[in-house]
């Protein structure tokens, strides 16, 4: 069922929803993390959002509903479930709003989400997201205590529904080949692997989340809100140049300010079309 802005019920036979895909945290097509953005002309049900996200079959589909000037309601769905925070789909949505002149680039956008109000701004050609810091606590994983699929674990931390495992070096992060069933059994929502960087980047990482329908996420904004906390506690650094070493790869600039994390990245629009939703 659909509701018009005045609150009255409207049931169209066929509804066309604009769907756009954007590669986030990259300026190169076919790299970074692709997200779908669905611009909602009406409110739709949570079940409908989940069906659309499953049909798009990307790590996240963002659903945007206009609430006012530079103000949007934003929800994120994987192919199997809703998530409470997603960086790359937020960056993709903000990029679309700014570049398609649906929002004023000289003013921040505010997204109303399940993680509170999140701001996005255009800063020197980058989309900058203002996200909450995700706190981490040093701990030992009850299964991946010494090794993670053949690579030595040199540090670990717990965060809400996820883990961080620190490996020895970038090659260890790059060469990990998870056994998905084993990883799913021994993780709740997902697991981040990371290592100290080299002359190119301050840190490297990858993110696996088979229990929410994503074996490996190409580039993960929320994970860097936790990685910022983890590496700040270890090194004292408040800014990081980060690379997520998935097959597609992606770059992020990450900065800590009090209890907020500022994520900067670029994006590329890849596809635009209409999805026909038929209601029987």
165-205 pLDDT tens trace = 999 999 999 999 999 999 999 999 999 999 999 999 999 99
Residue 145, φ and ψ in degrees, nearest 5: -80, -40
Residue 226, φ and ψ in degrees, nearest 5: -85, -40
List the structure tokens of 136.
């981490």
pLDDT digit string, tens, across residues 6-16:
555 555 567 78
Catalytic residues: 60
**Which residues does residue 214 pair with via DSSP β-bridges, in sequence order?**
209
Q: Please report, for the chain, the start and end positions of each structural domain, with discontinuous segments joined by +.
A: 2-131+265-278, 137-258
Residues in contact with 93: Cβ distance below 8 Å, sequence separation at least 6, in sequence order: 22, 35, 37, 62, 64, 72, 74, 111, 120
Q: State the average pLDDT for the chain.
A: 93
Report the predicted TM-score, pTM, of the whole model to 2 decimal places: 0.86
Q: Class assignment of domain 137-258?
A: alpha beta
Please compute the mean of the pLDDT values over residues 265-277 and round it to a whole number.
Answer: 93
pLDDT band at 41 (very low <50, low <70, confident <90, very high): confident
What CATH code is assigned to 2-131+265-278? 3.10.310.10
**Which residues does residue 233 pair with via DSSP β-bridges, in sequence order?**
none
**φ/ψ bin of 64: left (φ > 0), alpha (ψ from -120 to 50), beta (otherwise):** beta
Q: Say if 2-131+265-278 and 137-258 have the same CATH topology.
A: yes
**Which residues does residue 147 pair with via DSSP β-bridges, in sequence order?**
152
pLDDT of residue 15: 78
What is the C-alpha to C-alpha distance for residues 81 and 67, in angstroms, rounded to an integer? Answer: 24
Q: Are the CB atoms for 66 and 72 separated by under 8 Å? A: yes
């Amino acid at each position: 069922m659909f509701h018009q802005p005045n609150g009255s019920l409207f049931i169209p036979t066929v509804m066309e929803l604009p769907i756009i895909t954007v590669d986030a945290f990259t300026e190169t097509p076919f790299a970074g993390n692709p997200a779908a953005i669905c611009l909602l002309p009406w409110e739709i049900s949570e079940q409908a959002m989940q069906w659309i996200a499953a049909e798009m079959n990307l790590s996240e589909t963002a659903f945007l509903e206009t609430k006012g000037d530079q103000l949007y309601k934003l929800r994120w769905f994987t192919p199997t479930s809703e998530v409470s925070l997603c960086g790359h789909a937020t960056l993709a949505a903000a990029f679309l709003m700014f570049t398609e002149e649906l929002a004023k680039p000289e003013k921040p956008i505010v997204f109303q989400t399940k993680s509170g109000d999140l701001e996005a701004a255009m800063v020197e050609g980058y989309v900058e997201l203002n996200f909450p810091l995700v706190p981490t606590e040093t701990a030992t994983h009850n299964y991946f205590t010494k090794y993670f699929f053949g690579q030595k674990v040199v540090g670990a931390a717990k965060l809400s529904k996820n883990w961080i495992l620190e490996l020895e070096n970038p090659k260890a992060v790059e060469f990990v080949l998870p056994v998905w069933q084993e990883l799913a059994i021994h993780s709740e929502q997902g697991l981040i692997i990371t290592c100290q960087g080299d002359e190119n980047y301050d840190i490297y990482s990858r993110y696996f989340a088979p229990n929410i329908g994503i074996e490996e996420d190409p580039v993960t904004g929320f994970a860097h809100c936790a990685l910022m906390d983890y590496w700040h506690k270890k090194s004292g650094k408040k800014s990081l140049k980060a690379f997520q070493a998935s097959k597609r790869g992606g770059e992020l600039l990450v900065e800590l300010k009090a209890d907020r994390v500022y994520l900067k990245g670029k994006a590329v629009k890849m596809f635009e079309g209409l999805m026909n939703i038929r209601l029987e």
